[in-house]
Amino acid sequence: MSTVQIFGGIVTFANYGAIGMLAVDVVYRLWRFGPTVLSDGNKGIEKTQQPGDPFYYMLTFQLIPLTLLMLAAQTEYMPVLKYIEFIKGPAGKGAFFIFVSLLLFDPLYKFDMVIAIVITLIGLLNIIHALLSISCGFGGSEKEEEEI
């Protein structure tokens, strides 16, 4: 096994981790839809806090198909990927991961911000993997290499 193939395995594992983190984030966001009771410690003051921004709610429902699309790309589910060609390769996956993480990044919600930063790093790993594959000559599939 070459270094590029080992790095590809690490990137694949990281991609599944990113998909899992997005799924957890969707569940967390859906859980936050209800009012959250916050207490003020000694004063005994309780207040409810919900995300007030409509973009938060829209993005939560958009994250579900985006996460499923990432899963389809990672598992190479062709009925979906035939319509979205760019996401088949590691560079396209990396760009898509970065796009989703930019949508998710919001300093008001620390959990979302941490997940967005991690997914951005995983997207960059995908792009590095694509560059290594091209520069080391591993860009083609194994079937193409066997035919040559």
Instruction: Classify residue 42 by its DSSP letter.
Output: G
**pLDDT computed for residue 143 by the predictor:** 46
| Tokens at 9, concatenated | 């395995």
Q: What is the structure's pLDDT at 41?
A: 58
**The pLDDT value given to residue 106:** 85
Buried b (16+ CB within 10 A) or exposed e, 47-83: eeeebeeeebbebbeebeebbebbbbbeeeeeeebee
CA angle 36, 42, 48 (to 5 degrees): 15
Cα 129 to Cα 11: distance, rounded to the nearest angstrom: 8
- At 53-63, the pLDDT tens digits run 788 888 889 99
Q: What is the pLDDT of residue 107?
A: 86
Q: How many domains does the chain have?
A: 1
pLDDT grade for 2, boundaries at 50, 70 and 90:
confident
pTM of the shown model:
0.78
Task: Please return the burial class of 120, using the count of CB atoms within 10 Å of its CB with bins 0-12, 13-18 and 19+.
Answer: buried
pLDDT higher at 3 or 50: 3
Q: Terminal CA-to-CA distance of the chain, rounded, Å?
A: 20
**Per-residue model confidence as pLDDT tens digits over 84-123:** 888 988 999 999 999 999 999 988 888 999 999 999 999 9
Average pLDDT, the chain: 83
Q: Can you read off the two tokens belonging to residue 47?
A: 């207040």
CA-based torsion, 80, 82, 88, 94: positive or negative: negative
What is the band of 144 on the pLDDT scale with cuts at 50, 70, 90?
A: very low
Check residue 91 and give its pLDDT. Answer: 92
Query: Residue 21 sits in which domain range?
Result: 3-147
